[in-house]
Amino acid sequence: MITKYESSIRQIDYPQEKVYAMLSDLSNISRVADKLPEEKLKDLEFDTDSVSISVAPVGRIKMNIIEREEPKCIKFETEQSPVPFNLWIQMLPVTETSSKMKLTIKADLNPFIKGMVSKPLSEGLEKIADMLAAIQYE
């Protein structure tokens, strides 16, 4: 059963194009890695198209960018994860100097697994959205 989780919409004080340019190249993670909570995240590895991380208590998660729709959407798919899912980052312009962002996860979850992972997935999605909204997209 496909289950969809959406973050609340985040306002970003940078133009859509700058946000897209930074997030669509995962090698830019090096610029924000110091803002990630070390106690929750370990063994962070990334290149232009993929990111891999150990997340307590979940385990290793590796995601690849499978589609880029400049300047409005980046789609990821898990390559390695206890729960396979897709992640979308959507960006829309608000003004010439600001934009808004929403994250969406779609996962194929059976009812038992859904009961265990719904809350952590929702909370994790909001934390990722908070972190992405706090980045300096210069």
Report which of 12, 1, 4, 7 is spatially closest to residue 133, judged by C-alpha positions: 12
Q: Which amino acid is at 78?
A: T
Could you read off the pLDDT of 40-89 as tens digits, one per residue? 567 888 999 999 988 777 788 999 999 999 999 999 999 999 888 999 99
Could you read off the pLDDT of 6-39 as tens digits, one per residue? 999 999 999 999 999 999 999 988 777 776 666 6
With a CB cutoff of 8 Å and minimum separation 6, the contacts of 20 are 70, 71, 72, 74, 91
Q: What does the pLDDT read at residue 126? A: 93
Q: What does the pLDDT read at residue 39? A: 64
Q: What helix, strand, coil percent values describe the chain, rounded to 5?
A: 30, 40, 30
Burial class from Cβ neighbours inside 10 Å (0-12, 13-18, 19+) for residue 29 reads middle
Q: What does the pLDDT read at residue 58? A: 75
Q: What does the pLDDT read at residue 31? A: 77
Q: What does the pLDDT read at residue 35? A: 65
Decide: pTM greater than 0.85: yes
